[in-house]
Amino acid sequence: MPVHRMSLLQAIVLGLVQGLTEFLPISSTAHLRIVPELFGWPDPGAAYSAVIQLGTVAAVLLYFRKDLVVLSRAFFEGLLKRAPMATAESRLAWFVLVGTLPIGVCGLAFKKTIETSLRSLYVISASLIVLAIILFIVERLASHKRTLADMGWRDGIVVGLWQALALIPGASRSGTTITGALSLGLRREDAARYSFLLSIPATSLAGLFELKHLLEATERPSTAALVVGTLVAFGSGWAAIAWLLSYLRRRSTIVFVFYRVGLGLLLLVLLRAGVLHPQSGLENTDTPSHPLQTPVERQVME
């Protein structure tokens, strides 16, 4: 099986980019498309992006390990007692599961488009800017008073639908889910926490599915590149989670609005000047993209 050449430096840079941008509302997919293009590297592909995203999945699993134990216990105890919605913890577990369904359904329906034309840098720049404007409006109008304990079925479904928007590269899974949670009146820190918990099912399945396809591909990055990229993504992802939760306890998301707009406009300028090319590196991608992938961001591992 031919091995696609990817240096350890490239793996480190891409892993760092993946980890830092996966949990911030700025789109990991956008950065993983832009950075290789700027350095003249071939697009690593949706599959490679999803696999190193397993590093960020591991980071969120370990960071919220206590929460996950509590939610899992409450979920199964609720089933055994035939009272699945009796506690706030069991309800939250159900909301995470229900919130994962829309991205799976939409991913299956639009699989081919997601893995090809939607990865254009023009699409990414547009979604960066449009979602930034929506986040700005929501940030200004939201009450920021509700907690996770106040969530209901409607909230879980609505945020799940917002997560499905992350199938558009550049939208950001973190960005869409945080925006959706804020629009329902959740506090900023609670919105981010729910976004992290909601990321686990979709991104875990996407990464595992893509790992299988990547191993079967005719060309793939070396094992060393995959391992290094995943480990770096884990470390930087952990740091991003801790920083964002601390940041949102004291500040708003406006800084991310300006960053997204600035990056989107810069991207359009570079495309206009011919420095970047909208579909460069995508034509020869032979590794299929999993429908649950949030564009890397997921797709679906934003």
How many structural domains compose the chain? Answer: 1
- Residue 232: partners with Cβ closer than 8 Å, 6 or more residues away: 11, 12, 15, 16, 18, 19, 55
Task: Let me know if residue 117 belongs to a domain.
Answer: yes
Token digits of residue 262: 């600035």
Q: Which of 15-29, 47-61, 195-209 has the highest mean pLDDT?
A: 15-29
pLDDT at residue 291 in the model:
35
Question: Is 80 exceeded by the pLDDT of residue 131?
Answer: yes
pTM of the model: 0.86
Q: Which amino acid does the sequence have at 213?
A: H
Question: Is 70 exceeded by the pLDDT of residue 297?
Answer: no
Domain that holds residue 122: 3-273
- The answer to whether residues 131 and 172 touch, using CB atoms and an 8 Å cutoff, is yes
Provide the mean pLDDT of the chain: 85
Mean pLDDT of 266-286: 75
Task: Let me know if residue 55 belongs to a domain.
Answer: yes
pLDDT at residue 39 in the model:
87
Q: How confident is the model at residue 4 (pLDDT cuts 50, 70, 90)?
A: low
Task: Let me know if residue 123 belongs to a domain.
Answer: yes
pLDDT at residue 279 in the model:
74
Nearest to 271 by CA among 117, 123, 121, 118: 121
Task: Let me know if residue 288 belongs to a domain.
Answer: no
Task: Let me know if residue 93 belongs to a domain.
Answer: yes
Task: Let me know if residue 239 belongs to a domain.
Answer: yes
Q: What's the CA gap between 199 and 178, in Å, rounded?
A: 11
Task: Let me know if residue 184 belongs to a domain.
Answer: yes
Dump pLDDT digits (tens) for 231-274. Answer: 999 999 999 999 999 999 999 999 999 999 999 999 999 999 98
Task: Let me know if residue 283 belongs to a domain.
Answer: no
- Residue 297: partners with Cβ closer than 8 Å, 6 or more residues away: 21, 22, 27, 28, 29, 30, 166, 169, 171, 172, 173, 174
The DSSP letter of residue 238 is: H
